[in-house]
């Protein structure tokens, strides 16, 4: 088959991966010869082939899982055209709502750096790397429109926010931040090292701030994730025609930020 768009979707846990694969009418199947946690689906009426993997919680596990899948792909003769970090997330009270969808305009490492007497300094300010990856703008904006999603920065943290003060600090440091999750920057870093563009798509299960489990809407957010990806596949099907070649501008090796 030719003219296919091959997509790698990376989630933290299997419930998120399965929510993504349920967006396709036909059931998911394990990918032959690859780790059993990788499932393949082919959205109907598109030229898209999707491999979905539950890589684990946090940026390190996400980066390792994404990098492993990306490294194995050329050996199968099936390199990926696009990587998507996906799952549920906490949403900042403005502009997102619980059960809403977020498409990242940028994928930010929100707590990678140093705490100083003057406040937090990220690794870019310290001169040790980058703190943001930029998804392809045409694709990301088209996806947000098709999904009816909020379009804004998604923050990657290693420690989930659990207080109002921390939520206020993050929102002040990252103007317009839409959501907080734990894997996006790790996935984006792996994708950048392989020269593959990346998206991050999240559905909101709770507000960023004090951890009030009684208000969490995890089943609803997972159902919203399924609906979001069902709407996404037609956009992905034609994105290469609209976006054109993807430069490796996000790679840490060329100074992209």
Architecture of domain 5-242 in this structure: 3-Layer(aba) Sandwich (3.40)
Mean pLDDT computed over every residue of the chain: 88
0.75 exceeded by the pTM? Answer: yes
185-238, pLDDT tens digit by residue? Answer: 999 999 999 999 999 999 999 999 998 888 899 999 999 999 999 999 999 998
CB 112 within 8 A of CB 123: yes
Distances (CA, A) of 232 to 103, 205, 219: 11, 20, 20
Contact 138, 235 (CB under 8 A): no
Per-residue b or e along 179-204, where b marks 16 or more CB atoms closer than 10 Å to that residue's CB: bbbbbbbbbbbbbbbbebbbbbbbbb
Q: What would the two tokens of residue 238 be?
A: 């034609």
Q: Quick check: 250 pLDDT over 50? A: no
Q: What distance in Å separates the CA atoms of residue 152 and residue 134, rounded to the nearest whole number?
A: 11
Instruction: Decide if 184 contacts 154 (C-beta within 8 A).
Output: yes
CA distance 242 to 174: 30
- pLDDT at site 240: 74
Q: List pLDDT tens digits, range 52-61.
A: 999 999 999 9
Going from the C-alpha of 183 to that of each of 82, 142, 189, the distances in angstroms are 16, 23, 10
In the chain, helix, strand, coil percent, each to 5?
35, 25, 35
Contact between 78 and 6 (Cβ < 8 Å): yes
Domain residue extents for the chain: 5-242
DSSP 8-state secondary structure symbol assigned to residue 21: H
Under 8 Å between Cβ of 13 and 21? no
């Amino acid at each position: 088959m030719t003219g296919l768009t091959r997509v790698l979707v990376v989630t933290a846990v299997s419930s998120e991966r399965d929510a993504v694969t349920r967006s396709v009418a036909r059931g998911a199947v394990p990918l032959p010869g690859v780790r059993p946690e990788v499932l393949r689906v082919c959205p109907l009426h598109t030229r898209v082939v999707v491999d979905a993997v539950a890589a684990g919680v946090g940026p390190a596990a996400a980066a390792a899982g994404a990098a492993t899948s990306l490294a194995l792909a050329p050996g199968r003769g099936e390199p990926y055209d696009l990587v998507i970090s996906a799952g549920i997330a906490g949403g900042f009270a403005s502009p997102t709502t619980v059960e809403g969808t977020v498409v990242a305009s940028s994928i930010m490492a929100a707590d990678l750096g140093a705490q100083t007497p003057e406040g937090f300094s990220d690794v870019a300010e310290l001169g040790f790397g980058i703190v943001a990856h930029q998804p392809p703008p045409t694709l990301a904006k088209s996806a947000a429109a098709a999904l009816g999603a909020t379009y804004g920065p998604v923050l990657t943290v290693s420690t989930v926010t659990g207080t109002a003060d921390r939520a206020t600090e993050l929102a002040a440091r990252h103007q317009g931040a839409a959501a907080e999750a734990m894997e996006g920057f790790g996935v984006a870093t792996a994708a950048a090292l392989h020269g593959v563009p990346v998206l991050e798509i999240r559905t909101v299960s709770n507000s960023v701030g004090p951890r009030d489990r009684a208000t969490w809407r995890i089943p609803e957010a997972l159902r919203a994730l399924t609906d979001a990806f069902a709407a996404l596949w037609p956009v992905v099907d034609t994105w290469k025609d609209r976006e054109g070649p993807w430069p490796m501008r996000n790679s840490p090796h060329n100074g992209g930020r």
